[in-house]
């Protein structure tokens, strides 16, 4: 049996079309959602992410402002910029691309973003709201993308045993919080595993839905998955590949060819969670814009 492929790429196209229509409607009533994406330095991966986010926003009809600052920008300058964006009525969503250079205190910057414009959901207030089950807390984009993939592929996590591998603030922890939330996309029984989990396979084999966000290529093998489980691979790893012109290929944390023979459904890398993350960023921006008018 070969698993059904959960194509985040196709779903993201559909979601972005829905967003485009929503934005067109908002524009007719005089509201243009605006997103500011801030990048410090010239990290090539971050540049690619920021460019795709801006392009996707523009294609969706969202006003998009990309702000690129030199690597040696001071923390005070960055905080000043954030404060300006907080006060800017054209901007409803602010995203500061992580990681930030070492001389900048990431927590300080994330805390400076107006929680109402925090489309990444990383402000401590929003993290707390999500952790305490607030249904209106903005959901961090990557785990929100995973929930959307599960729901749209007919794999509602409600009542299922979901195992999340990874406990980062960006993916694992908010993923677990979303799955636990009462309401659509939640109501799961959740286990979180990490690098100190002694027998990882024993835990992952318990999963009806297995969500993996580790950052190590092919760590999850076929014998670590329960037959018929649904597997979502969040990992994005670069592995050397001389057959490719660029010298590498992207792969997930799940040994795809093995696991697809055991699982009932699986998301690929690339073309899985990545495109959904961007779609969720646009969705969070539009939600923030709509909320801003309700708050006036």
* Residue 15 binding ligand NAP, by CB under 6 A: no
Task: Name the minimum Å distance from CB 70 to ligand NAP.
Answer: 25
Task: Rule CB under 6 A: choose which of 236, 259, 281, 282 binds ligand NAP.
Answer: 236
* Residue 237 binding ligand NAP, by CB under 6 A: yes
Helix (H, G, I), strand (E, B) or coil at 270: coil
CA distances from 69 to 77, 139, 221, 284 (A): 10, 27, 42, 24
Active site residue 160: no
* Residue 216 binding ligand NAP, by CB under 6 A: yes
* Candidates 20, 47, 72, 97; catalytic one: 97
Torsions phi, psi for 105 (to 5 deg): -80, 105
Question: Which residue's CB is nearer to ligand NAP, number 81 or number 130?
Answer: 130
Q: What is the dihedral of CA 215, 221, 225, 228, to 10 degrees?
A: 110
* Residue 238 binding ligand NAP, by CB under 6 A: no
Q: Report the distance separating Cα 183 and Cα 1, nearest Å.
A: 33
Task: Name the minimum Å distance from CB 80 to ligand NAP.
Answer: 28
Q: Report the distance separating Cα 15 and Cα 286, nearest Å.
A: 12
Active site residue 97: yes
* Residue 191 binding ligand NAP, by CB under 6 A: no
Q: Report the distance separating Cα 112 and Cα 102, nearest Å.
A: 18
- What are the structure tokens assigned to 212, written together? 């993996």
Give the x/- contact pattern for ligand NAP in 41-80, rule: CB under 6 A. ----------------------------------------
Q: Is 158 exposed, middle or buried (0-12, 13-18, 19+ CB in 10 A)?
A: middle
Residue nearest to ligand NAP (CB): 168
In 10 A of CB 76, how many CB atoms?
Answer: 9
Residues shown for the chain: 296
Binding to ligand NAP in span 137-176, by CB under 6 A: 142, 165-168, 170-172
* Residue 215 binding ligand NAP, by CB under 6 A: yes
Active site residue 156: no
Torsions phi, psi for 231 (to 5 deg): -120, 125
Task: Rule CB under 6 A: choose which of 44, 89, 136, 196 binds ligand NAP.
Answer: 196
Binding to ligand NAP in span 273-292, by CB under 6 A: 273-274, 277
Question: Which residue's CB is nearer to ligand NAP, number 36 or number 164?
Answer: 164
Question: Which residue's CB is nearer to ligand NAP, number 113 or number 211?
Answer: 211
Options 21-29, 107-115, 228-236, 239-247: segment touching ligand NAP (CB under 6 A): 228-236
* Residue 234 binding ligand NAP, by CB under 6 A: yes
Question: Which residue's CB is nearer to ligand NAP, number 26 or number 190?
Answer: 190
* Nearest to 85, CA basis, from 126, 131, 37, 129: 37
Instruction: Say how many residues touch ligand NAP, by CB under 6 A.
Output: 26
Radius of gyration of the chain, Cα coordinates, nearest whole angstrom: 19
* Nearest to 258, CA basis, from 229, 285, 218, 209: 218
CB 18 within 8 A of CB 279: no
Query: Which residues of this chain interact with ligand NAP, rule CB under 6 A?
Result: 142, 165-168, 170-172, 193-197, 200, 213-216, 219, 234-237, 273-274, 277
**Would you please indicate which residues are annotated as catalytic (active-site) residues?**
53, 97, 120
């Amino acid at each position: 049996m070969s698993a059904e492929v959960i194509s985040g790429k196709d779903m993201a196209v559909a979601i972005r079309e829905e967003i485009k229509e929503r934005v067109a409607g908002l524009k007719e009533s005089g509201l243009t959602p605006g997103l500011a994406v801030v990048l410090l330095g010239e990290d090539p991966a971050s540049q690619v992410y920021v460019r795709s986010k801006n392009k996707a926003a523009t294609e969706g009809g969202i006003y998009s402002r990309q702000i690129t600052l030199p690597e040696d920008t001071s923390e005070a300058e960055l905080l000043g910029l954030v404060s300006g964006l907080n006060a800017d009525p054209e901007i409803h969503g602010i995203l500061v691309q992580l990681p930030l250079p070492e001389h900048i205190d990431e927590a300080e910057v994330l805390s400076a973003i107006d929680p109402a414009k925090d489309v990444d959901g990383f402000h401590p207030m929003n993290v707390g709201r999500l952790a305490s089950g607030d249904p209106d807390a903005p959901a961090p984009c990557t785990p929100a993308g995973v929930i959307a993939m599960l729901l749209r592929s007919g794999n509602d996590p409600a009542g299922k045993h979901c195992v999340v591998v990874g406990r980062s603030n960006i993916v694992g922890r908010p993923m677990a919080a979303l799955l636990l939330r009462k309401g659509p996309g939640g109501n799961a029984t959740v286990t979180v595993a990490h690098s100190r989990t002694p027998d990882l396979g024993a835990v992952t084999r318990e999963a009806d839905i297995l969500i993996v966000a580790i950052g190590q290529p092919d760590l999850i093998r076929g014998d670590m998955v329960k037959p018929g489980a649904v597997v979502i691979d969040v990992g994005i790893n670069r592995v050397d590949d001389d057959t490719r012109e660029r010298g590498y290929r992207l792969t997930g944390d799940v040994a795809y060819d093995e696991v697809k023979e055991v699982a009932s459904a699986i998301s690929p890398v690339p073309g899985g969670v990545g495109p959904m993350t961007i779609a969720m960023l646009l969705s969070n921006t539009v939600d923030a814009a709509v909320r801003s008018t309700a708050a006036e």
